[in-house]
């Protein structure tokens, strides 16, 4: 019996006995133990005490069972989902593992926890409510205690595909240096000119010395191309050359190609890790917080916006238009606008706009010119394509990567504004148009992107050495994770028109939102678009 419970019962029993009106107490010279027990605990009281104790113990036991059941139910219904990435042992179960060489690394000797626990995961959503499901999680990126490649047997290759983006050279450099410095891998190849370089035999031997200063240059040290993806030829070449680690840097189309390469490797039962590093200057890769090169692009866009602002301030009725990247997503235009504070109107692909009529763009320009005498418009390259295509009777062609070839909306919008004010309003305007697209794409990455590219490259190296394959890397809720390639290619990340960031832009520019449902229907915009906006 619990001692505290016994003492408590003794006090209750004694006080009941002493306070009983039918009992008189007088001191006795001495009492035998049994006599004292009989005196203080009469039979009826002892019976009640035993019943009380039995009920108390049963209640405690019942409470423990209920709590255990509740805990079990909570564990079953907490909504935890792990979206795992493939591992070489899934189709090569007898693959041998080895101790990670980082155990002997001087650099990692000072790290408190050198290796990432197999149980570590990263939550996709970090803001949840008390009773809401925990949601989707991904494996945390980083070095593992066991690796599935001997460093002397690794033959790695790196390929870059698609358009240019600040930071590509930094990623190449850090994959090479990471493999060499951390894992003592000596055999690294650079595949030149994109996917077709696999079967056109264009390769370059890479080492830390070869890539030492490439991060200071723009573009890609390995050169790039669009298209050229022939899965069987690529995997044949990987197999013939004895390559067992493939690092693929590119956008969503490139990552889809990486997924197909992984499937063919798996089908053939090859010990080849396929790792993707997502790249797009537009920041339209799903799941990850942002893509590399984006910070550099926003920073460089400020120079173009500032130049346009200086130009329109220096003339009467100055109208400046700056066209920025953003095929399907207006993140660069949105962030550059918010950072600049010199922009009067931001036009992005996600937000339909109209030119004429009350509340239209022409009406807004007229009011802002009367108020300030000048204005600056930032437009993403994908905005207004439906109007430009209809106006110019253009066809929807595609490039080698399958992307729709866009019309140049900058000059088109400049001409439309000029014609309207000179012909309809009989009002002279001074148009200034700036297109910094290729200047922004071609510059080296800034400090922020250089650090980010290093983390991406090292995460990919750790993942490949640990035997993971068919995965891509990126920050999720500010923690780097391994993500199934299908998750980053299933849809494009776009600006949320009902989100706070777009509201901040509208507040900063004091522009109309151009998304009033009645106006949209009146101007012929599809009702499906209106429904999505209303959602």
Residue ranges of the binding site: 163, 226-227, 251-254, 280-282, 325-327, 381, 438-441
Q: Tell me the C-alpha distance between 525 and 517, whole Å.
A: 9
- CA-to-CA distance for 381 and 328, rounded, in angstroms? 8
Cα separation values, 142 from 83, 112, 148, 179, Å: 17, 14, 15, 13
CA atoms within 13 Å, Cβ hemisphere of 67: 6
Query: Given CA atoms 418, 420, 423, 427 in this order, what sign does their dihedral have?
Result: negative
* DSSP 3-state of 322: strand
Query: 418-439 in b/e burial notation, b at 16+ Cβ within 10 A?
Result: eebbeeeeeeebebbbbbbbee
276 within 8 A of 485, measured Cβ to Cβ: yes
Q: Residues annotated in the binding site for substrate, as ranges?
A: 280-282, 325-327, 381, 438-441
- Annotated binding-site ranges for ATP: 163, 226-227, 251-254
- Residue 7 contacts by C-beta under 8 Å, 6 or more apart in sequence? none
Map residue 389 onto helix, strand or coil: helix
Q: Is 157 helix (H, G, I), strand (E, B) or coil?
A: strand
Measured distance CA(265)–CA(408) in Å, rounded: 41
Q: Which residues contact 249 (CB under 8 A, 6 or more apart)?
A: 158, 159, 160, 161, 168, 171, 172, 220, 276, 277, 279
**CB neighbours (10 Å) of residue 52?**
13
Evaluate whether 9 touches 15 at the Cβ level (below 8 Å). Answer: no
| Binding annotation for Mg(2+) | 252
Tell me the catalytic residues: 282
| C-alpha torsion sign, points 354, 290, 410, 503 | positive
């Amino acid at each position: 019996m619990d001692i505290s419970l016994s003492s408590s019962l003794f006090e209750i029993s004694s006080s009941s006995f002493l306070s009983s009106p039918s009992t008189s107490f007088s001191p006795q010279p001495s009492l035998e133990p049994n006599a004292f027990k009989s005196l203080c605990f009469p039979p009826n009281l002892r019976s009640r005490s035993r019943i009380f104790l039995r009920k108390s113990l049963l209640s405690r036991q019942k409470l423990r069972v209920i709590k255990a059941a509740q805990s079990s139910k909570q564990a079953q219904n907490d909504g935890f989902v792990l979206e795992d990435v493939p591992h070489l042992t899934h189709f090569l179960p007898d693959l041998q593992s080895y101790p990670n060489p980082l155990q002997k690394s001087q650099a990692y000797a000072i790290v408190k926890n050198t290796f990432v626990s197999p149980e570590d995961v990263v939550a996709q959503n970090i803001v949840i409510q008390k009773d809401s499901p925990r949601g989707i999680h991904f494996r945390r990126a980083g070095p593992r205690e066991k690796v599935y490649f001997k460093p002397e047997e690794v033959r790695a290759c790196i390929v870059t595909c698609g358009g240019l983006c600040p930071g590509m050279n930094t990623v190449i450099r850090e994959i090479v240096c990471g493999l060499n410095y951390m894992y003592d891998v000596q055999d690294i190849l650079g595949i030149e000119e994109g996917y077709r370089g696999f079967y056109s035999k264009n390769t370059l031997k890479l080492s830390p010395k070869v890539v030492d200063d490439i991060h200071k240059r723009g573009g890609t040290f390995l050169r790039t191309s669009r298209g050229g993806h022939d899965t069987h030829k690529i995997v044949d070449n990987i197999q013939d050359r004895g390559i067992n680690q493939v690092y693929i840097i590119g956008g969503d189309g490139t990552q889809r190609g990486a997924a197909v390469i992984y499937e063919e490797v798996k089908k053939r039962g090859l010990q080849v890790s396929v790792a993707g590093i997502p790249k797009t200057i537009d920041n339209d890769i799903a799941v990850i917080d942002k893509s590399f090169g984006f910070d550099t692009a926003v920073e460089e866009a400020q120079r173009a916006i500032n130049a346009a602002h200086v130009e329109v301030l220096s003339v009467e009725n100055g109208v400046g238009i700056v066209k920025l990247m953003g095929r399907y997503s207006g993140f660069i235009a949105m962030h550059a606008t918010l950072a600049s504070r010199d922009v009067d109107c931001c036009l992005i692909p996600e937000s339909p706009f109209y030119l004429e009529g009350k509340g239209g763009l022409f009406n807004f320009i007229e009011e802002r010119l009367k108020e300030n005498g000048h204005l600056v418009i930032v437009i993403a390259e994908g905005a207004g394509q439906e109007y430009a295509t209809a106006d110019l009777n253009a066809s929807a062609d595609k490039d080698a990567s399958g992307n729709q070839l866009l019309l140049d909306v900058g000059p088109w919008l400049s001409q439309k504004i000029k014609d309207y004010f000179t012909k309809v309003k009989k009002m002279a305007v001074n148009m200034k148009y700036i297109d910094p697209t290729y200047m922004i794409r071609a510059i080296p990455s800034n400090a922020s992107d250089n650090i980010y590219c290093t983390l991406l490259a090292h995460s990919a190296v750790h993942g490949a050495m640990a035997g993971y394959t068919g995965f891509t890397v990126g920050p999720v809720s500010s923690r780097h994770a391994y993500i199934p390639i299908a998750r980053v290619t299933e849809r494009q990340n776009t600006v949320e028109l009902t989100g706070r960031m777009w509201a901040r832009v509208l507040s900063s520019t004091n522009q109309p939102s151009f998304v009033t449902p009645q106006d949209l229907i009146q101007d012929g915009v599809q009702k499906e678009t209106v429904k999505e906006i209303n959602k």
